Structure 1
């Protein structure tokens, strides 16, 4: 999964102009974040296999980019931030299962 940092942030915005960008926000020492990231990876891979298409995803350490929290209203991690056309269209905090993440992602992809 692509690591999103300040140096490549503009590519995220550019990619979100064409299709939703799913950005997983975490902190390195957060156990819940590690578990959520694994569920997110499973959901992403399932979508890629079932739809035979690429989706735009990345992961970012919110400690290294705190401006994302203020700009997009992130209140806690883990958080799955969905950007479309550079705008936050959804924030998912309750990453209950890979299936839940998968369903949420499919709904957003089907809207686009």
Structure 2
């Protein structure tokens, strides 16, 4: 899973112009964030494992403590949060991470649009 930092942020915005970028926002000491991150990783691996999937989906993880400006810019009110960025704009914020299956379904729907 790609770690998102200030040094690679501009490249992420550029990638989001081609296809949606799924950015998981967390804090390192948050237990709920750790569980959510694992669900996110499972959903990403499942999507990438599809036989008809030609390449990996654009995804990454960011410690919101190291980039608090992202929370302000994209209106993130709490973590964990799965932020879907398209063309540099947040098109979806998911806070209630119920299961890897729910994330898979939501992410697949977004990719197919």
Instruction: Report the TM-score range of the alignment, normalised by the length of the smaller protein.
Output: over 0.9
Secondary structure, in 3 states, of the residue corresponding to 1:63?
coil
**How do 1:40-55 and structure 2 match up within 5 A?**
40-50=40-50, 51-55=53-57
Unaligned runs of 5+ residues in structure 2 are none
Report the RMSD for the aligned CA atoms in angstroms. Answer: 0.6
- The C-alpha deviation readout for 1:46-74, integer Å capped at 9, x for no partner, is 00011243100000000000000000000
Distance 1:84 1:32 in 2: 26
Match of 2:64 in 1: 62
Q: Is 1:10 the counterpart of 2:39 in the alignment?
A: no
TM-score w.r.t. length of structure 1: 0.97
- Runs of 4+ in structure 1 deviating by more than 3 angstroms, as ranges, are none
TM-score w.r.t. length of structure 2: 0.96
Q: How many residue pairs align between the two structures?
A: 111
Distance 1:103 1:91 in 2: 15
Q: Normalized per residue, which structure has more helix?
A: 1
Secondary structure, in 3 states, of the residue corresponding to 1:32?
helix
